[in-house]
């Protein structure tokens, strides 16, 4: 198979610093050598490649934007490029890194005590301690404010009762960031160690998407958590701050999936012979390739500019919603177009597009569905919250 070539129609490379390009190229080589050769087998078997965790840690991908605590401390544009390259390999790998950093390490860094940071972050940066993020519930996904998990004060502790659903990394996590309502119906967050009594996990095995990722249900039955483990934040602004970082990373990650599919479609169409010539010579196939190529170019510009805004702390949640919504929606479309160009070959594990297509069904849903992000943007431009 021809080596991967990333599309760069508008010379976007020149807008990255040498450090940013070095980070991207290092991850690109890692994905090509360590992830691509084995990921289809893991996907087929429904297993996560745990052997990659030490390497991902050594590359500085875990909590990469955090300053100190043995984290890499890179800028958000570099973080985006990391997510782009990892999702070129598989959405499940990017999800693992995204959850570990943006959803678990970030809230400890932003809302935890200094003791929390010293206790958890270095181990998490090294991949020695895996985290998960407990917000979504069986009956409350798009409306997290409706959660029913409770945290009842009892002396120096809180008693957690409830369940969290669709939790990435849950089955292998040693610590969870869990959100619940306290006695005053305020949403509060806790750092919950996995070995606490009353904390159990059930893995979700039968799924056709994100098969190379661990997805779980977290169950809390009179789980006693010390009050000292509470995060210093109240209300939805806590979980939403985490989600916005994760959504930002997804907007870049989806580009990686798009670029992988486009590269596969282009190479296949130039070598697949029908009616005595390559199918790339037919107008309809060229039209499909051009649509993907153009979408990717526009997505690259959107992601780059958003990254620069995030580095300046100027990115609004609505900006991130647009990028997550559009880049993921396009990636799913591109995976489907690629499957179409590849014909029957597109449903086999020999090629990537079918795996990306199924994975992106989940990526298009989690961290805010496409429709929810449309409503966020609708609220932004009209001032009217249609979801209330």
3-state DSSP assignment of residue 49 = coil
- Residue of 85, 87, 264, 367 marked active site: 367
| DSSP H helical ranges for 226-316 | 237-271, 283-311
Angle between helices 36-45 and 353-363 (to 10 degrees): 60
Residue 339 contacts residue 354 (beta carbons within 8 Å):
yes
Per the structure block, which two tokens stand in for 146? 């409706």
d(CA 266, CA 286): 9
d(CA 121, CA 65): 12
d(CA 36, CA 257): 12
How many Cα atoms within 13 Å fall on the side-chain side of residue 330? 30
The residues pairing with 223 across neighbouring beta strands, listed in sequence order, are 160
Distances (CA, A) of 174 to 65, 130, 143: 22, 6, 27
Name, in order, each residue with C-beta under 8 angstroms of 8's C-beta and a sequence gap of 6 or more: 300
Residue 212 contacts residue 39 (beta carbons within 8 Å):
yes
By DSSP bridging, strand 230-234 and strand 215-226 are: unpaired
Name, in order, each residue with C-beta under 8 angstroms of 121's C-beta and a sequence gap of 6 or more: 63, 66, 69, 70, 71, 105, 108, 109
Q: Active-site residue 44, yes or no?
A: no
Query: How many other CB atoms are there within 10 angstroms of residue 382's CB atom?
Result: 9
Strand (E) positions, 26-68? none
d(CA 127, CA 61): 10
Active site residues: 367
């Amino acid at each position: 198979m021809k080596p991967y070539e990333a599309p760069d129609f508008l010379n976007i490379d020149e807008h990255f610093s040498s450090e940013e390009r070095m980070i991207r190229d290092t991850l690109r080589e890692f994905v090509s050598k360590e992830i691509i050769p084995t990921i289809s087998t893991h996907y087929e078997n429904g297993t996560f490649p745990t052997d990659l965790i030490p390497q991902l840690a050594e590359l500085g991908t875990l909590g990469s934007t955090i300053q100190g605590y043995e984290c890499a401390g890179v800028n958000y544009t570099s973080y985006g490029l990391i997510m782009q390259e990892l999702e070129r390999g598989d959405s499940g790998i990017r999800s693992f890194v995204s959850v570990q950093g943006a959803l678990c390490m970030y809230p400890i860094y932003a809302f935890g005590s200094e003791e929390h940071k010293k206790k958890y972050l270095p181990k998490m940066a090294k991949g020695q301690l895996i985290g998960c993020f407990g917000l979504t519930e069986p009956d409350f996904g798009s409306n997290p404010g409706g959660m029913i998990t409770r945290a009842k004060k009892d002396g120096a502790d809180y008693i957690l009762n409830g369940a969290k659903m669709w939790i990435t990394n849950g089955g292998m996590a040693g610590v969870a960031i869990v959100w619940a309502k306290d006695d005053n119906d305020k949403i509060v967050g806790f750092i919950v160690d996995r070995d606490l009594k009353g904390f159990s996990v059930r893995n979700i095995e039968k799924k056709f998407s994100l098969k190379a990722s661990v997805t779980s249900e977290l169950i809390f039955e009179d789980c006693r958590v010390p009050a000292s483990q509470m995060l210093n934040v109240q209300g939805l602004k806590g979980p939403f701050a985490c989600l916005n970082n994760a959504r930002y990373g997804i907007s870049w990650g989806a580009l990686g999936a798009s670029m992988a599919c486009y590269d596969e479609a282009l190479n296949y169409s130039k070598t697949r012979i029908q009616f005595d010539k390559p199918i790339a010579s037919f107008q309809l196939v060229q039209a499909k390739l051009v649509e993907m190529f153009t979408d990717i170019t526009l997505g690259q510009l959107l992601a780059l500019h958003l990254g620069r805004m995030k580095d300046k702390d100027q990115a609004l949640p609505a900006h991130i919603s647009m990028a997550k919504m559009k880049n993921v929606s396009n990636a799913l479309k591109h995976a489907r177009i690629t499957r179409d160009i590849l014909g029957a070959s597109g449903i086999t594990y020999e090629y990537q597009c079918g795996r990306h297509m199924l994975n992106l069904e989940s990526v298009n849903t989690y961290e805010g569905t496409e429709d929810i992000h449309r409503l966020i943007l609708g609220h932004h431009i009209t001032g009217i919250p249609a979801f209330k």
